[in-house]
Amino acid sequence: MLIPDPLLAAAVAVCLAIALMFVLRCLHPPGGAVAVTAVLAGPIADTLGFGFAVVPIGLNSALLLAVALGYNRLTGHRYPRLRPSGNVNPHGTRDPLPRDRTGFTLDDLDIVLERRGKVVDIDRNDLMEILTTAEHEAYRRRSGDLTCGDVMSRDVVTVSPTTTIGEAWAIIRDRDFSVLPVTTDDRKLVALLTRENFVDAVGKGLGRPSLLADKRLERGLDKGFSTRMPVERIASKAPLTAMTTTSIAELVPILSKAGLHHIAVVDEATRLIGLVTQTDLVMALFKGNVGSMNKRAD
């Protein structure tokens, strides 16, 4: 509207559009085409004036956004992608989460991007996800394709949903277990009973304090907690599970992200097959690394 010469106006429009996209970090080549369209559309654009930015440009953009929202909703994806608020340590300390203590981080990625001085037409979080996935894939290759079936414990002690809390606690205490799977008679996994479940239950139903753990369980009657209650009242329902074919490279980030110390291994019918603990993983990773070093030495 301000420059009579169409060729000069088109050039200025494209340059300004690209410059603004660089500044706003939203580089999108069709945006330059829209700027040219506003200049070369002829009498229609002249008649609409600044309204051309609303109809058809604004209307078309709104329709595109609506289609994107609908498509991503139907396919189970979040759109638009929200910038994560940061990996907050659930323990309230300044330590980074375990999965962020090794390998590269977003800060490392920012340093590299800043050093290159170029605009990358991809969200930094998406780029981080791609690189992290590639890192996990590389680890899977180096770890020799170890799976849960290779490292899991198979002779797993279980309890039924109707087992009393007192009976289950005796098993955990006497056999020094950290977890007891809760299964039906045909070994279908129902829940996982952990020491943390007992701590939570006692804390919610604690009566008078006692120095003995067994007495604390017995005194938790004020809010309905009793050692005679079935374990299904306090066990963790719908636990995360893995298959025997799940690779260790896949399992490590799952356990780290969820803050778990163990994961149940089930078959297609959710029947319990085994249990993978942190100890199993540490030994598998240690032996895998030692084996890799020996191969390189050879």
Q: Report the alpha-carbon distance of residue 178 to residue 239 in Å, rounded.
A: 15
For 211-229, the pLDDT digits (tens) are 455 555 555 544 456 677 8
For 238-265, the pLDDT digits (tens) are 888 999 998 877 787 777 777 788 899 9
Whole-model pTM? 0.52
| Domains observed in the chain | 98-142 (no CATH), 148-297 (3.10.580.10)
| Structure token pair of residue 142 | 């180096």
Of 29, 49, 45, the closest CA to residue 37 belongs to 45
For 38-89, the pLDDT digits (tens) are 888 878 887 888 888 898 889 998 999 999 999 988 888 778 776 655 556 6
User: 105-114, 244-253, 269-278: which has the highest mean pLDDT?
Assistant: 269-278
The percentage of residues in the chain with a pLDDT greater than 90, rounded to a whole number, is 24
